[in-house]
Chains A and B, each alone.
Chain A
């Protein structure tokens, strides 16, 4: 590469930093959603780069379903302490206790969908006007249509058929009172880009992404982790296997990958040779063909 060339990761980084700064400049009360997964970790890293040596000029927020892997929460708290950042936590359990949502029943019950209400309530309560998320267009077909700056009406809904055109790098964050924006700074990153960037920048990630022994059971072809709130069906048996997370979501719907990948390099190799998408193990997307689109319209991340 010549003197005036940057590689694809540096170009994506420059684009994402630009988007994050634009959010800080155009909105009064932005917030960055943080789940403890690799995408939000990378997004937060980019935010720190965007404002260094100043602190990130907006808080983080975690919508906690109460069904997290304990390692995720541990990682989150350590990261906040290390970087001197603030993370607001809102609990889905509280939305349940207050009767705002009703817990799903049955063996496949998940709090994934319930998060939307907790999120929208939190945005309204804390008067956030822009919420940045780590969604990527390559993750899912409805997300492939998403803008960087995605307008939400006063009900937090997305209207995919009537999105604002987005040209060059001119982002239009204008809105009426009560409306807000979702912003996706790493829209153009693929799963591989995220891993290569973590490698290049030497970013620390939760231990869940590396191989470890865990008690798991198989449901509909996906390996799920044993947890106190997971009910097993009759024929499902626990086994201890070498697994790792390819994505981190709720324990209830995050499929684990059988893997012995022990380093970021191993993971990059594994991602390069895999033939299944990363959300292929996510039960929440398999509910129907437009599961993601339907959830997004209601205000999901």
Chain B
């Protein structure tokens, strides 16, 4: 390494999620990505070898690497989302590894909420299953910008091109029903390593990139909305010190778009307008800033602004309203109560809301809308109208993942019971 501009420090961050059950080879695939990128250390490997021997497996069980809790190892299942990290010279990766056994939707939605890429595994022997459909639907609902379908276990179907083509055609038929912007297909064998990191010599008929190549090169720069400046005020910074007697900065993370010193902004909900005086990050003053930076913004005029307010570019505001249509994923064992009241969190704002109406429940196995049965219980997804106690400043989730998302909190238990994507 030669200096601060060395390649080391110039990596991009890519977050991806993987979903599926143990049987489709997900753990093996993650194990291979970690192992081939040298993210598994010797002492971890030794620990896994010891543990594999104890439970009597013949081969080293790479799944033990991802199963962190005692109960998970004992029962051989994954309970919760686990986060894994590895890096190649090009990118740093964060994997949200989500289990398939229980609380399926809840975990996959959680993992998917921040992902740039979703890996969907399909077992080449079994083809497209209901489960595959659920994965694809959730990836589309959560607007994960890129989906990579890994047709796995190609070694068990003699690396047959026809098997791969059939799966690809089946999924392409379905994906017209979904709104996935970018979907790719790769035939792999996670166990043997074909097309994971290294190109397979056993599938000459496949001319596309390997999985690792896609992960390293998929363009994620456009995943964030760069058009609409949205700045939810998180914390008001007022030093009131000798050196900074009148400093009044608005701390927050830019949700989307960009802003320069001198730009005109409007403040919601008050509607007052002003111009950006400075953009600060520690002792550094920035000329401009953009999503997803965390900064402190000062304005030319003294306006009363507090947490929960939002700065936007003058003339480009979000929607404002108290009747919010959302696709709601329910996470809790306590069912959703019709007309029930919940605490709602949206950007840096907290409000209360009432469930006004359930429009339909989604059957995520068939992608059909159920307008008869409107009971929303754990792992259900439905389209719901919420009435909030005060106006929200929002965009549709498809336009903006930050200003378009919300969670509901049960006022009795304080638990996070649902996630909503604003329609």
Q: Which residues of A contact B (CB under 8 A)?
A: 1-15, 17-18, 21-22, 24-25, 48-55, 137-138, 141-145, 160-161, 163-170, 172, 174-176, 187-188, 190, 192-193, 196, 199-200, 265, 268-269, 274-277, 280, 289-290, 293-294
* Nearest-CB residue, chain A, relative to B280: A52
> With A53-B244, A145-B80, A280-B41 as given contacts, are A176 and B237 in contact (CB-CB < 8 Å)?
no
Contact segment of B119-127, B194-202, B287-295, B317-325? B287-295
A49 touches B282 (CB 8 A): yes
> Do A170 and B405 touch across chains, with their CB atoms under 8 A apart?
yes
Q: Judging by beta carbons under 8 Å apart, are A168 and B402 in contact?
A: yes
Which one of B108-116, B132-140, B180-188 is at the interface? Answer: B108-116
Instruction: Judge whether B109 and A200 touch: CB under 8 Å.
Output: no
Q: In the bound complex, do residue A290 and residue B226 qualify as a contact, i.e. CB atoms below 8 Å apart? A: no
Given A6-B292, A12-B13, A190-B87; 4 other pairs, CB 8 A cutoff: A7-B13, A25-B307, A141-B82, A172-B345
Report Cα–Cα, A91/B51, bound state, in Å.
37
Which B residues from 227 to 283 make CB contacts under 8 A with A? 234-235, 237-241, 243-244, 247, 249, 251-253, 258, 280-283
Contacts of B1 in A (CB 8 A): 265, 268-269
Q: Contact check: which of B43, B113, B294 meets A14 at CB < 8 Å? A: B294
Cβ contact of A5, chosen from B44, B51, B114, B221, cutoff 8 A: B221
Contact of B251 among A21, A145, A274, A280 (CB under 8 A): A21
Residue pair B69, A268 in contact (C-beta under 8 Å): no
Q: Are A290 and B70 in contact (CB under 8 A)?
A: yes
How far is it, in angstroms, between the C-alpha of A52 and the C-alpha of B65 when the chains are bound? 40
Contacts of A22 in B (CB 8 A): 234
| A52-B280 Cα distance, complex, nearest whole Å | 8
Nearest-neighbor residue (CB-CB) of B407 within chain A: A170
CB distance from B396 to the nearest CB of A (A): 15
Least Cβ distance of A232 to chain B in Å?
Answer: 25
How far is the CB of A290 from the nearest CB of chain B, in Å? 4
A15 to B70, CA, bound (A): 30
| Chain A residues near B307 (CB-CB < 8 A) | 25
A13 partner residues in chain B, CB cutoff 8 A: 294
Determine which of B79, B92, B226, B249 lies in contact with A193 in the assembled complex, contact meaning CB atoms within 8 Å: B92
Residues A277 and B44 in contact, CB atoms below 8 Å apart: yes
Bound complex: CA A4 to CA B405 (Å): 23
A71 to B414, CA, bound (A): 43
Measured in the bound complex, the distance between the Cα atoms of B44 and A48 in whole Å is 35
Is A52 within 8 A of B296, CB to CB?
yes
Given the interface pairs A7-B12, A52-B280, A53-B243, the reply to whether A144 lies near B331 with Cβ below 8 Å is no
* Known contacts A7-B11, A25-B235, A145-B68; is-contact A170 B94 (Cβ 8 Å): no
CB distance from B120 to the nearest CB of A (A): 20
Q: Quick check: A174 and B226 within 8 Å, CB to CB?
A: no
Is residue B357 within 8 Å, beta carbon to beta carbon, of the partner chain? no
A7 touches B10 (CB 8 A): yes
Q: Are A172 and B234 in contact (CB under 8 A)?
A: no
B61 CB–A CB distance under 8 Å: no
Known: A142-B68, A161-B71, A277-B44. A21 touches B9 (CB 8 A): no
B402 touches A169 (CB 8 A): yes
With A145-B69, A265-B1 as known contacts, state yes or no: A168 contacts B226, CB within 8 Å.
no
Q: Is residue B310 within 8 Å, beta carbon to beta carbon, of the partner chain? A: no
Residue in B closest to A202 when the chains form the complex, CB atoms: B4
**Least Cβ–Cβ distance between B346 and chain A, in angstroms:** 8
* Nearest-Cβ distance from residue A197 to partner chain B, whole angstroms: 9
Name the residue on B nearest A143 (C-beta).
B68
Question: Closest CB of chain A to B16's CB: distance in Å?
Answer: 13
- The residue on A at minimum CB distance from B83 is A137
Residues of B with C-beta under 8 A to A18: 234, 253, 294
Please state if A268 and B294 are interface contacts (CB–CB under 8 Å). Answer: no
B235 touches A4 (CB 8 A): no
Shortest Cβ gap from A167 to chain B (Å): 4
The residue in chain B whose Cβ has the minimal distance to the Cβ of A193 is B92
- In the bound complex, do residue A167 and residue B294 qualify as a contact, i.e. CB atoms below 8 Å apart? no
A-contact 0/1 string along B100-112, CB 8 Å cutoff? 0000001101100
Partner of A172 from the list B238, B292, B416 (CB cut-off 8 Å) is: B416
Complex partner residue of B113 from A25, A49, A163, A168, CB under 8 angstroms: A168
A165-B237 contact given A2-B221, A18-B294, A187-B83, CB 8 Å threshold:
no
Bound Cα distance A21, B65 (Å)? 33
What 8 A-B pairs are tightest by C-beta distance, nearest first? A141-B68, A54-B239, A174-B414, A17-B294, A8-B13, A280-B43, A14-B294, A167-B113
Contact between B110 and A10, CB atoms less than 8 A apart: no
Chain A residues closer than 8 Å to B239, beta-carbon distance: 53-55
Chain B neighbourhood of A190, CB < 8 A: 85, 87, 92
Q: Is the CB of B106 within 8 A of A165?
A: yes
On whether the beta carbons of B416 and A165 are closer than 8 Å, the reply is yes
B253 close to A169 (CB less than 8 A):
yes
Q: Is B8 an interface residue (CB 8 A)?
A: yes
Q: Assess the A170–B345 pair: CB atoms within 8 A.
A: yes
Assess whether B292 is in contact with A52, with CB atoms less than 8 Å apart.
no
Task: Determine which of A50, A175, A277 lies in contact with B414 in the assembled complex, contact meaning CB atoms within 8 Å.
Answer: A175
List which B204-234 residues lie within 8 A (CB) of chain A. Answer: 221, 224, 226, 234
